[in-house]
Structure 1
Amino acid sequence: MNKFLDNINTAEKNIKTADHLIYSSFPLLKDKRILIKAIKEINLAMNHLINSILQYEFLKKKVKLFKDPRKNFKTFVEDCAEEYGITNEEITKIIQTSEIAKKQKESPMEFIRNKKVIIFSTEMDPTQIEIEEIKELLLTTKNFLKKTKDKMKLLFTP
């Protein structure tokens, strides 16, 4: 039963780390690796929150879990998102974050130019992410955490 709570706690840590990287470390150091790490932390937080919701709903016997993460994400979108107040726009940002993190992982090269992180695919197709977009993704993740905790509020009261 504690696995979904562990996921929420881990997501909170990921969000705090990403927030610190974006608002404290990056302005001082201006290193692209800081923004890349922030994107990874945001993606991890979103994944932990989705897993937490799925595990919680599984315990309540409302959803079925699969070994395939794509099927689990589909279950989240179709069966859980609306109940937790997750909008289509937020789902789009979750998918966007996941795609950016995947592209970065597979990327042979990335750099920062004019307040944009530019990630090249293996075919040298560039993806540009502005710092403001990363901040928006972080804000979406914070809202996602709040909605998740609000829905599970009975578990967090002493």
Structure 2
Amino acid sequence: MELKKEKYLEYFEKSEALLKAADHMIYITFPLIKENRLLKKIIENIGEGAFNIIMSVLEHEQLYKRADISQDLKVNIEVFKRCSRRFNITAEETETILKVLEISEKHRESPFEFIRKDKLVMMSDNLKTESIDLEQLKRYMNIIKSIMFKVKAIYDEKKEYEFSQRSKFRQ
């Protein structure tokens, strides 16, 4: 009989896979094919990976009865901000993960997007624009990976998760 994985580990593994794919697209695929439309997929993966890290932390904290998960994303973000200290996540890293979620949300809701001068420009309903380039995505990716490693270290410290000898990411 196979043991059922804890939900927080499922979220963590999903996040790890999404971030690994985003990392590969940023450092291998994009420089090779130089297709700016890849920026859209990179944003999606980083955003979903960040969301899954947050949900992993919240599920972990709920398991130990230190937090409750709400249906409201804003409430969950506030709970994550409080819980993040326990995972050694700095205020700057917390702000970055929230910025990534915001950009990902703008990307999803954007009625019109286009590429201009190696930047993805997202236009909102009220015609405000926001642009993002590969260098910004690299910075966000590095900070999100740092958060992921901190969460992984806490899980590993508690012997709750079997980690492979080789890291899936370049550090």
After superposition, residues 93-108 of structure 1 pair within 5 angstroms as 93-108=96-111
Map of 2:167 onto structure 1: none
CA shift at 1:129, angstroms?
Answer: 1.1
**Selected match of 1:47 from 48, 51, 60:** 51
* Counterpart AA for 1:42: I
CA contact (8 A) 2:12 2:52 kept: yes
In the alignment, the residues of structure 2 paired with residue 53 and residue 84 of structure 1 have an alpha-carbon distance, to the nearest angstrom, of 8
In the alignment, the residues of structure 2 paired with residue 59 and residue 2 of structure 1 have an alpha-carbon distance, to the nearest angstrom, of 9
Map of 2:138 onto structure 1: 135
After superposition, residues 75-94 of structure 1 pair within 5 angstroms as 75-78=79-82, 80-94=83-97
In the alignment, the residues of structure 2 paired with residue 148 and residue 14 of structure 1 have an alpha-carbon distance, to the nearest angstrom, of 16
CA contact (8 A) 1:32 1:111 kept: no
* Structure ranking higher in helix proportion: 1
What's the CA shift string for 1:71-101, capped at 9, x where partnerless?
Answer: 11111102x1111111111111111111111
What's the CA shift string for 1:21-71, capped at 9, x where partnerless?
Answer: 112222233333311111110111111111111111111111122121211
Residue 132 of structure 2 aligns to a residue whose secondary structure is strand
In the alignment, the residues of structure 2 paired with residue 119 and residue 68 of structure 1 have an alpha-carbon distance, to the nearest angstrom, of 25
CA shift at 1:115, angstroms?
Answer: 2.6
* Counterpart AA for 1:129: I
Residue 141 of structure 2 aligns to a residue whose secondary structure is helix
Residue 32, structure 1, aligned to residue 36, structure 2: yes
Residue 37 of structure 2 aligns to a residue whose secondary structure is helix
CA contact (8 A) 2:36 2:119 kept: no
In the alignment, the residues of structure 2 paired with residue 9 and residue 157 of structure 1 have an alpha-carbon distance, to the nearest angstrom, of 11
Equivalent residues, number: 157
**Selected match of 1:156 from 158, 161, 164:** 161
If the length of structure 2 is used for normalisation, what is the TM-score? 0.85
CA contact (8 A) 2:9 2:161 kept: no
Flag the 1:157–1:10 CA change in 2: closer, same or farther, 3 A: closer
Residue 136 of structure 1 aligns to a residue whose secondary structure is helix
If the length of structure 1 is used for normalisation, what is the TM-score? 0.92
Counting aligned pairs with the same residue, the percent is 32
Question: Unmatched 5+ residue regions in structure 1?
Answer: none
